Structure 1
Amino acid sequence: MLIIKKIKLNYTEIIVFSTMGIIFLGGLLLSLPLSSKSGTATPFVDSLFTSASAFCVTGLIVYDTFTHWSLFGQSIILLLIQIGGLGFMTVITLFSLFLRRKIGLKERRLLMESANTLKIGGIVLLVKKIIIGTIIFESVGALILTLSFYPEMGLREGLFYGIFHSVSAFCNAGFDLMGKYGQFSSLTNYSSNIVVNITIMTLIISGGIGFVVWDDIVKTRVCFRKFQLHTKIVLITTAALILISALLLFVIESNHGMINMSIKEKILASLFQSITPRTAGFNTINLNEFSEGGILLTIILMIIGGSPGSTAGGIKTTTFITLLIAAWASAGQCTDILIFKRRLETDTLKKASAITTIYMTIALISIIVISTIQEFPLKEIMFEVFSALGTVGLSLGITPSLNVLSKIIITLLMYGGKVGVLSIAAVIAEKKESALLSRPFEKIIIG
Structure 2
Amino acid sequence: MTKLFQKLSITQRISLSFLLVIATGSILLSLPIFHVADAPATTYLDHLFTTVSMVCVTGLSVFAVADVYNRMGQILCLCLIQIGGLGLVSLIALSYYTLRRKLSLSNQATLQSAISKDSHKGLRDYLYHVFQLTFAIEGICALILMLDFIPRYGWSDGIFNSIFIAISAFCNAGFDNLGSNSLMDFAKNPLINLTVAFLILAGGLGFGVWFDLRERNKKFLSGPLSFKQAFHKISIQTRLVLYTNAIILSLGTLISWILERTNPETIGTYALPDQLLVSFFQTVTMRTAGFATISYSAAEQGTNFFYMLQMAIGGSPGGTAGGLKVTIAAVIFLLFRAEIKGHSHVSFHYRTISDSLIKQTLTVLIFFFTVLVTGYLLLLETEPTLNPFGLLFEVFSALATVGVTMDITPHLSIPGRFIVMALMFIGRVGPITVLLSLRQRTEKSIPYAKADLILG
**1:394 — aligned with what?**
404
**2:224 — aligned with what?**
none
Question: Which residues in structure 2 correspond to 1:97-246 (within 5 Å)?
Answer: 97-179=97-179, 184-221=180-217, 223-246=230-253
1:442 Cα shift?
1.9
**2:49 — aligned with what?**
49
**Secondary structure, counterpart of 2:352 in structure 1:** strand
1:103 Cα shift?
2.5
Flag the 1:206–1:12 CA change in 2: closer, same or farther, 3 A.
same
Kept in 2, the 8 Å contact 1:355–1:422? The answer is no
Tell me the distance in 1 between the aligned counterparts of 2:66 and 2:185.
15
The one-letter code matched in structure 2 to 1:373 is T
Question: Which whole-Å deviations, capped at 9, do the CAs of 1:309-366 have from their partners, x for residues lacking one?
Answer: 0100000000001011111212223221100100011111111111111111111111
1:426 Cα shift?
6.8
Question: Which residues in structure 2 correspond to 1:289-368 (within 5 Å)?
Answer: 289-368=298-377
**1:13 — aligned with what?**
12
CA-based RMSD: 2.0
Tell me the distance in 1 between the aligned counterparts of 2:399 and 2:124.
30
The one-letter code matched in structure 1 to 2:214 is V
Which region of structure 1 is more displaced relative to structure 2, 388-397 or 281-290?
281-290
**Secondary structure, counterpart of 1:220 in structure 2:** helix
Kept in 1, the 8 Å contact 2:364–2:435? The answer is no
The one-letter code matched in structure 2 to 1:80 is L
Q: Please say if 1:418 is aligned against 2:428.
A: yes
**2:23 — aligned with what?**
24
The one-letter code matched in structure 1 to 2:271 is S
Report sequence identity in percent: 33
Q: Please say if 1:35 is aligned against 2:34.
A: yes
Tell me the distance in 1 between the aligned counterparts of 2:328 and 2:452.
26
Tell me the distance in 2 between the aligned counterparts of 1:117 and 1:444.
39
**2:289 — aligned with what?**
280
Tell me the distance in 1 between the aligned counterparts of 2:412 and 2:391.
10
Tell me the distance in 2 between the aligned counterparts of 1:433 and 1:104.
23
The one-letter code matched in structure 2 to 1:189 is D
The one-letter code matched in structure 1 to 2:58 is T
Which region of structure 1 is more displaced relative to structure 2, 275-284 or 113-122?
113-122
Which region of structure 1 is more displaced relative to structure 2, 370-379 or 230-239?
370-379
Tell me the distance in 2 between the aligned counterparts of 1:267 and 1:433.
51
Kept in 2, the 8 Å contact 1:354–1:422? The answer is no
Tell me the distance in 2 between the aligned counterparts of 1:73 and 1:335.
57
1:3 Cα shift?
3.4
Tell me the distance in 2 between the aligned counterparts of 1:173 and 1:58.
5
Kept in 2, the 8 Å contact 1:234–1:317? The answer is yes
Flag the 1:42–1:110 CA change in 2: closer, same or farther, 3 A.
same
Tell me the distance in 2 between the aligned counterparts of 1:215 and 1:437.
41
**2:227 — aligned with what?**
none
Unpaired segments ≥5 residues, structure 2: 221-229
Question: Which residues in structure 2 correspond to 1:255-274 (within 5 Å)?
Answer: 255-256=262-263, 257-274=266-283
Q: Please say if 1:251 is aligned against 2:247.
A: no
The one-letter code matched in structure 2 to 1:204 is I
1:377 Cα shift?
1.4
Kept in 1, the 8 Å contact 2:53–2:424? The answer is yes
Question: TM-score under structure 1 normalisation?
Answer: 0.94
**Secondary structure, counterpart of 1:178 in structure 2:** coil
Kept in 1, the 8 Å contact 2:395–2:420? The answer is yes
The one-letter code matched in structure 2 to 1:376 is L
Unpaired segments ≥5 residues, structure 1: none
1:185 Cα shift?
0.3
Tell me the distance in 2 between the aligned counterparts of 1:36 and 1:388.
26
**Secondary structure, counterpart of 1:118 in structure 2:** coil
Question: Which whole-Å deviations, capped at 9, do the CAs of 1:341-400 have from their partners, x for residues lacking one?
Answer: 000111111111111111111111111111112121111001100000000010010101
Question: TM-score under structure 2 normalisation?
Answer: 0.92
**Secondary structure, counterpart of 2:297 in structure 1:** helix
Q: Please say if 1:446 is aligned against 2:442.
A: no
Which region of structure 1 is more displaced relative to structure 2, 69-78 or 384-393?
69-78
